[in-house]
Structure 1
Amino acid sequence: MEKGITNSRIDALDYIRGFALLGIILVNILALLHTKIPEPNTIDASYQRFLYLFVEGRFYTIFSFLFGVGFYIFITRANAKGKNGFILLLRRLIVLLAFGIIHSMFQPGEALMIYAIYGLITLPFYRVNNHINLTLSIIFIVIFGVMGLKAALTLPLILLGIACGQYRVFENLSQKTKQIAIFTALMSLLSGIGLYIQYHNIPDLPFQNMIIVDEGGLIDQASIFLKLGITVGPIISAFYIGLLLLLLQTRLVQILLAPLKYYGRMALTNYLGQTAFILLAGNLFHFTANLSYIQTLYLCIVIYVIQIICSLVWLQLFKMGPFEWVWRILTYWKVIPLKNKVNNV
């Protein structure tokens, strides 16, 4: 068995997953409900600016990074148990691809397919030296970020997650408070610089979320703003992660944010559930193309409350979320007990 490998969950990762889910829905809901561009000088216009400064391009990067960390942990623990981690992860990625294909029928901008495909590409890097993985991931994050290639960024972010898994960044976090604080302070400084630059390129009028290049190769003010958001996104995401890890060093914060941990433990179920709730609300209450930007926030809050309560109740009764359970069955090719032992008495 590899040194330092345990079977216990790393709670910090669940907190971060839950946190990432909170941000992802705020952006996804806009496209799913065909939310119109806000009118100038309104609260909706202000909320749009907030979203594209602090949310868009910040939370999917966290999820991509966590996918890489989970990738490493899964395969390492499988190998430590004497199983063929590569084969199991290959099955896991194929099942995730199937989930993504089905999900894309309802959510065109869904991410599961991208994670599965990039996961297959990065599969061989599990055995590559951690220093090489770290160097390659940072180089390509910088290149793709500067180029504004949002979809391409997912690949090096997954590789960065694998590298952090190799370095065992998330193990024994209570002994790494000083390092976390230094990292967070540095990311805070860089994030401040990045946000300052992006803020001074905010379009005068509300805009469409699309980088448009004209025939002369030029992009308009809104496109420059959006591209800058992609460039600085990984830095701000790193700051968010560092700050959350720092806060989680205190017991009080762990208790206050406990709902996030349960929300994150059912990340796949809740991610798919977000789409279901949004589309259901759009059809039942005729919200599609009828909600303003700020009204989508109110709907997201309602969905948060429902999903977090459901996650808390579900995980009192069962070991994992329903889609996580199906995912595990199809990965291991055997039925895994779902109920918690205490409920089987």
Structure 2
Amino acid sequence: MDFDKRIDTLDYLRGFALMGIIFVNIIPMLSVPLPAPHTVNASYLRFLYLFVEGRFYTIFTFLFGVGFHVFITRADAKGRNGYVLFLRRIIALFIIGYVHVQFLPGEALTVYAVCGLLIIPFYKVKKSVNLVCGTAMLIVMGIFSFKLFMVLPLMLLGIAAGQFHVFEQLAKNRNQIVIFTSIMLVLSIIGLIYQYHYAPSVFGNVSDANFQETQRFLKIGMTVGPIVSAFYAGLMIWLLQFPLVQKLLSPLKSYGRMALTNYVSQTAIILFTGKVLHLFNNITYVQSLYLCLSLLGVQLIFSQVWLRFFRFGPLEWMWRIVTYFEIPPLRK
């Protein structure tokens, strides 16, 4: 196995997940007010809760677990202490997350860093145990709508995927990918229909009854979220088995390779734009969609151009320095 070769599918999936996260994060960042009922903005809000909210961070969290296993395995194979390197990596991630959370309350990096410490012992646990425990814990947390506590089981499933070498053997398992994606599609349709059935006509604290309706709708969304996420990931993986799709989505791969830089810069750009254009509490849900699409377009182009001349994204490069205690060449 070539331990220096990147697993491209992980970069594509990471970029795909990050693209979805921004559509949800921008709402609290710019204090977007709740829309009036029976409007286009209300329809878009409902769309977000059905197809975006809790769907993409799940993929991103799962990939963190995969990346954890790949990182330590490759470090050990090169004769380095993977645990020590990963610990430095986690500390650096926590520092970045701590700064970031000052501008985006509720952001995920600090949570990932803490959970990254908790999952270290599971690297040596049998893959079947990680798979069963991760699945069982995720089902329980999903049923009780404990969103924060879903991070750990998702990472465990990522570790299990790494232990089973899922992403190294995708080309050999196309039929299994199709079967898995088809099952997740059916379950997703059932789950989303069920969630939509309980969608409130008005979101917010208009009344106690309305508040209860909204909470029930959101809890159902958290329960079915991992299923929808699994369908999204399965569909992406299946599509990426075709070289033409890989070529068409190549900007997504670059975007995923610079996930940390793009994630943090999203916050900076959105807050700066909101300040300059006076968008705080003065923008609609649909307008936030347009802003996200514009930002994503810029970041996709920037990521692809940057990686033509440099080996790492800016933050990825600094992260690597702290991890390895050495300065790698940045330019290609």
Name the TM tier (shorter chain).
over 0.9
Correspondence for 2:239:
247
Out of 154, 160, 174, the residue aligned to residue 151 of structure 2 is 154
Which residues in structure 2 correspond to 1:304-343 (within 5 Å)? 304-340=296-332
Out of 99, 113, 132, the residue aligned to residue 102 of structure 1 is 99
Correspondence for 1:126:
123
Residue 6 of structure 1 and its aligned partner are, at CA, apart by 2.8
Question: Is 1:271 aligned to 2:263, yes or no?
Answer: yes
Out of 180, 191, 205, the residue aligned to residue 177 of structure 2 is 180
Correspondence for 1:50:
47
Which residues in structure 2 correspond to 1:1-345 (within 5 Å)? 4=1, 6-207=3-204, 220-340=212-332
Residue 206 of structure 1 and its aligned partner are, at CA, apart by 2.8
Residue 309 of structure 1 and its aligned partner are, at CA, apart by 1.0
Correspondence for 1:343:
none
Give yes or no for contact 1:19–1:260 (8 Å, CA) kept in 2. yes
String of CA shifts for 1:174-225, please: whole Å, max 9, x gaps.
11110100100111111111111101010121337xxx999xxx97000000
Structure 2 CA distance for aligned equivalents of residues 34 and 219 of structure 1: 19
RMSD: 1.5
- Which SS does the other structure have where 1:325 is aligned? helix
Identity of aligned residues (%): 54
Give yes or no for contact 1:5–1:77 (8 Å, CA) kept in 2. no
Q: Give the letter for the 1:158 counterpart.
A: M
Structure 1 CA distance for aligned equivalents of residues 132 and 100 of structure 2: 33
Structure 1 CA distance for aligned equivalents of residues 265 and 52 of structure 2: 20
Residue 27 of structure 1 and its aligned partner are, at CA, apart by 0.3
Residue 7 of structure 1 and its aligned partner are, at CA, apart by 2.0
Structure 1 CA distance for aligned equivalents of residues 20 and 317 of structure 2: 25
Alignment length (residue pairs): 331
Q: Give the letter for the 1:146 counterpart.
A: I
Structure 2 CA distance for aligned equivalents of residues 91 and 309 of structure 1: 31
- Which SS does the other structure have where 1:176 is aligned? helix
Structure 2 CA distance for aligned equivalents of residues 169 and 207 of structure 1: 42
Taking structure 1 as the reference length, the TM-score comes to: 0.94
Structure 1 spans left out of the alignment, 5+ residues: 341-345
Structure 2 spans left out of the alignment, 5+ residues: none
